[in-house]
Amino acid sequence: MMEFRTAGIRVSVLFTIPLGLATGMLASMIAVGGFVGVPGMMYVLGAPAIIASATELVIAFIMGLGGTVHFALAGLVDIRLAMIILAGSLFGIQLGAIGTTVVAPYMIKVVMGSIMLIVAVSRALVVPVYLTQLELAGLSEGQMSVLKTVSFVFMVAALAVGALIIVGAMIRGYRTAAPKP
C-alpha cells in the first residue's frame, strides 16, 4: 500500500502500476494519455479531480518532452503548427487553471464522462472503415466517407459539449463566488 498525501488516498501499488502502464501505452499509440490517466486516477484510485488533472499535466509534460526531442531530431515536427497550437493552449491552460478554482469537482467528472461517451461513439462509427481497410469488411468509398464525416462531427460535438459545460460552470461559479454589493 502507498499513501499519496496530496491526493488524500491510500492505494495498492498493484493498481497504480497497471494504470500507468495502460496510460503510457495509449499515449504512445494514440496520444491520449490524459484521456485514460485522469479518469483512472479519479475512478480507480479515488483521487480528487483537481489532483488527477494536475498530476496528469506533470506526466504529460515529462512524456511530451521526451517525445518532442525524439521526433524533433527525426525532423518530424512542424514548428509553425506547434507554435500556433501552443499559443492557443497557453490561453486555454490559464482559463482552465482559473476555472478549476470555481467549478465544482463533480462538473469535471460530468465533462470527462460526456466527452468520453461522445468520443466512444465517434470511434465506434469508424470501426467498419478500419475493418474495410484491413479487408475484413466490404464498405463502399461513399459509405466510408459518410462514416468518417459523421465520426468527425461527433468529435467536434465532444469538444463543443465539454467546452459549453465547463464555460457554463465557470460562469455560475464566478457568479456565486462574487461578493454581493
pLDDT for res 52: 83
50-71 average pLDDT score: 81
Q: Let me know whether 66 and 97 are in one domain.
A: no
Long-range contacts of residues 140-145, Cβ cutoff 8 Å, at least 24 apart: none
Q: Let me know whether 57 and 84 are in one domain.
A: no
Final residue before a domain boundary, out of 77, 103, 130: 77
With 80 as the cut, is the pLDDT of residue 47 above it? yes
pLDDT for res 45: 84
Whether the CB-CB separation of 34 and 64 falls below 8 Å is answered with no
pLDDT for res 146: 95
pLDDT for res 149: 94
pLDDT for res 142: 93
Domain of 132, in residue numbers: 78-181
pLDDT for res 57: 80
Q: Read off the pLDDT of residues 85-101 as tens digits, 9 standing for 90 and up.
A: 778 878 777 777 777 67
With 80 as the cut, is the pLDDT of residue 29 above it? no
Residues 39 and 47: their CA atoms lie apart, in Å, by: 9
Q: Let me know whether 47 and 116 are in one domain.
A: no
Q: Read off the pLDDT of residues 61-85 as tens digits, 9 standing for 90 and up.
A: 887 788 788 888 998 888 888 888 7
pLDDT for res 120: 85
109-113 average pLDDT score: 78
Q: Read off the pLDDT of residues 121-167 as tens digits, 9 standing for 90 and up.
A: 888 999 999 999 998 988 999 999 999 999 999 988 888 888 888 88
pLDDT confidence bin for 30, thresholds 50/70/90: low
pLDDT for res 36: 72
Place of cell 465532444: 158
Final residue before a domain boundary, out of 23, 57, 77: 77
More confident residue, 125 or 113: 125
Q: What are phi and psi of 85, to 5 degrees?
A: -65, -40
Residues 74 and 55: their CA atoms lie apart, in Å, by: 29
Q: Let me know whether 99 and 165 are in one domain.
A: yes
Final residue before a domain boundary, out of 77, 98, 113: 77
Helices (H), 103-140: 105-133
pLDDT for res 75: 87
CA distances from 113 to 40, 59, 108, 109, 142 (A): 12, 21, 9, 6, 32
With 80 as the cut, is the pLDDT of residue 105 above it? no
